[in-house]
A and B are shown apart, each in its own frame.
Chain A
Amino acid sequence: MITFERVTKRFEPWTAVDGVSLTVEAGEFCVLIGPSGSGKSTLMKMVNRLIVPDEGTIRVGGEDIAMLRPEDLRRRMGYVIQNVGLFPHWTVERNIATVPTLLGWPKARVRDRVSDLLDLLKLDARRFRDAYPHQLSGGQQQRVGVARALAAEPAILLMDEPFSALDPITRGALQAEMTAIHKATGTTIVFVTHDMDEALKLANRIAVLDHGRLIQFGPPLEILHRPANDTVRDLIGREDWGLKLLAVETVGQRVRPDVEKVPGAPLPIDAPLRQAIAEMVARGTDRLPVVDARGRPAGVLHLSDVVRS
C-alpha cells in the first residue's frame, strides 16, 4: 500500500505536485494520467525517492520512506522507464539479474529467476539470454526492462510511460502482458501515461492530475461516466467517449440470460463490448451467443442492449 499525504514538490518557479493526498491499495493497478506538466511523473518518482518531496509524507506499507536508505527502498520496487535504459554492455541475463545481484542472491537462484522471467515475458531463453540489448527490437528491449524490474519479486512496480515509444501493435501486446502479469503476481503497480485508452485498458483505478493537483481518482467506469471537470473530459476525448465506454464495459454487463439459441461462435463473457460490436458488424447480425469462463452458455447479447445507456 502506498499513501501520499499532502505531498508537494516545487521546481521553482512552478509547483509540480501540489498537496496531493492519495492511497494506492496493495495489489492495485493504479494509473496516473494527465497532460504534460501535470506532475504525474514527479508524483511517481517520489515513491522511490528519485525525487524528494518538499512537503508531505509518503508511506509504503505504513513506513515513512524518508526514513529509509534510498538504495534499499529502490531495490524493493521495480522501475521501468520509457527509454528502457538497459545496460548496453551487459547481456540480457545480467541486465535482468541486476537487482538480485545487488541483493546478493546465490548464483543458482538468480539463474532460475532469470529463466522464469524470460518465460513470463515470452522471450525465448535460448535466443535472448546471452544477447546484448542492441541486438533486440524496441519491444523486446522493453520486455527485458519489465523482467529486470520484476526480478527481485518487488511488492511494488513503478512504470513511467513504459510503452509510449513503441508501435501500436507491440504496445498492445505489452499491455496485455502487463494485465496478465498483474493478475498472476498481485504486484501493486503505479503506471504513468498520457494515453487514456491505455489507462482505461489497464487500470483498476485512474488518478487524473492537472497542474500538480489530483482532479479525480476512481475506477475507469466512474471516470467515463462522471468526469470531474473539462480536463478529464478532454483527456477522455469528447468525440469518441462512446467508443471508450465500449472498450471498458464487458459483455457480462449487458448480456440477457436468454435460453434462446443463437447461431455462431460464442463470445466470452469478459470480452469488452467493443469486441462484441466488431463481431456483430463482421457477421452482419444484431445478436451473439455468450459463454462464461468455463465455456457454458451464459445468454445472448443484443445490439439494442449494448447501445442503451
Chain B
Amino acid sequence: MRPGSTTVRWRMAFLTDRLTLAVAVLVALVLGMPLLKPLFAAAFPALDRPLYEADSFLALTLDHLALVGLSSLMAVVAGCAAGVFVTRPSGAEFRGILEAVATMGQTFPPVAVLAVAVPVMGFGPKPALIALTLYALLPIVENTVAGLEGVPEAVLESARGLGMGPVERLFRVELPLAAPVILAGVRTAVVINVGTAAIASTVGAKTLGLPIIVGLNGSNQAYVIQGAVIVAALAVVLDFGFDRLAALSVRWRRG
C-alpha cells in the first residue's frame, strides 16, 4: 500500500461526506448571500431592494440557532427528566397526565402559543422560547418513555439481581440503552423547531424568519426566498448531524 494512501482516502471520505457538504452549502449561503444580489436583482426586476440588508444573515443565523438550541436544551432537560420520572414506580401515576400535557403542547399551533404568551411576557425572544420549548417537549417525552420501556426485562432483572441500585441501573443500563430512541426524539424536536423558530419573528424575536415576514408584508419575494433557503439548509445540516450522533449511540450494535 502506498504510504499516505489512508490519509488520502480519509480526506476523500471527508470531502464527499454529506454532512460536510451540507455544512459547506450552509456557510456559503450565510456568508455569500450578498454576492447573489445581482442574481436576485435580475430575477425580481420590479423590486427596489432585492437583498435583505437590515441585518446580516450571519447574525440572524446565530440568533436563530441560539433560540433553537436553548429551547431544545430546555425541552431535553425537562422532557428526559419527566420521562424518567414517570417510568419509575414512584412516578407511574403521573404518566397519563404528562402524556396529555405533552400532546397538548404539540396540538397547539405555535402561533397560538405565541399569541397567548405575548400578553403575558411581552414581545421579544422570551415568548418564542416558551413556545418552542413546549413544542419540542412531546417527541422528547414520548421517545424517552418508549426508549426506557424498550429496555429488555431480562436486562433489568439481571441488573437488579447483580446488585445495581436504582441510580446505577438508570445511568449505566437504562439510559445508554434508551439513548438511540431518545436521540431520535431530540432530532425530530430540533428539526421541527428550526422551522417553527422562523415564526417567532412575528413576536419580535430575531431569527431567520425576519426576512421571510418582512418579505411577506412588503411583497418582497426575494427576502422570503433568502430567509427560507437558509432555514432549509440549517434544518438539513442539523438532521445530518443527528444522523451522525445516532450512529455513534449504537456503535456497540456493530461491535
Q: Which residues of A contact B (CB under 8 A)?
A: 48, 50, 70-75, 79, 81-90, 98-99, 102, 131-132, 134-135, 145, 148-149, 158
Contact = CB atoms under 8 A, between A and B. Distances in A.
Query: Which are the 6 A-B pairs with shortest beta-carbon distances?
Result: A85-B158, A79-B161, A74-B163, A83-B154, A85-B154, A75-B163
A134 B161 contact: no
A81 B157 contact: yes
A48 B154 contact: no
A135 to B, nearest CB: 6
B104 interface: no
B252 interface: yes
A135 B159 contact: no
Contact of B154 (A75, A81, A131): A81
Nearest to B251: A89
Interface in B153-167: 153-165
Contacts of A85: 152, 154-159
Given A131-B255, A132-B255, A88 B177 contact: yes
B9 interface: no
A48 B161 contact: yes
A299 B210 CA distance: 101
Contacts of B192: none
Interface SS of B by simple majority = helix
Contacts of A158: 161
21 contacts: A48-B161, A70-B163, A71-B165, A73-B163, A74-B163, A79-B158, A79-B161, A79-B162, A83-B152, A83-B153, A83-B154, A85-B154, A85-B158, A87-B173, A89-B252, A98-B162, A99-B163, A102-B162, A102-B164, A132-B252, A158-B161
Contacts of B176: 89
A73 B161 CA distance: 10
Which of the listed residues A83, A87, A90 has the most CB atoms from chain B within 10 Å of its own CB?
A: A87
A7 to B, nearest CB: 19
A173 to B, nearest CB: 22
B228 to A, nearest CB: 41
Which of the listed residues B156, B160, B165, B168 has the most CB atoms from chain A within 10 Å of its own CB?
A: B160
B253 interface: yes
Contact of B253 (A75, A134, A149): A134
Given A132-B252, A134-B255, A135-B255, A88 B161 contact: no
Given A85-B154, A87-B173, A102-B168, A50 B161 contact: yes
B162 A148 contact: yes
A72 B165 CA distance: 10
Contact of A88 (B153, B157, B162, B252): B252
Given A74-B161, A135-B255, 12 more contacts: A50-B160, A72-B163, A75-B162, A81-B154, A84-B154, A85-B154, A86-B158, A89-B176, A102-B162, A102-B163, A132-B253, A145-B158
A158 B160 CA distance: 13
A48 B158 CA distance: 12
A148 B163 CA distance: 12
B156 to A, nearest CB: 8
B158 A81 contact: yes
A89 B168 CA distance: 15
Contacts of B163: 70-75, 99, 102
Nearest to A103: B163
Contacts of A86: 155, 158
A145 B164 CA distance: 16
Contacts of B164: 71, 98, 102
A148 B173 CA distance: 16
A82 B164 CA distance: 19
Nearest to B172: A87
Which of the listed residues A71, A99, A135 has the most CB atoms from chain B within 10 Å of its own CB?
A: A71
Contacts of A145: 158
Which of the listed residues A75, A99, A102 has the most CB atoms from chain B within 10 Å of its own CB?
A: A102
A72 B164 CA distance: 9
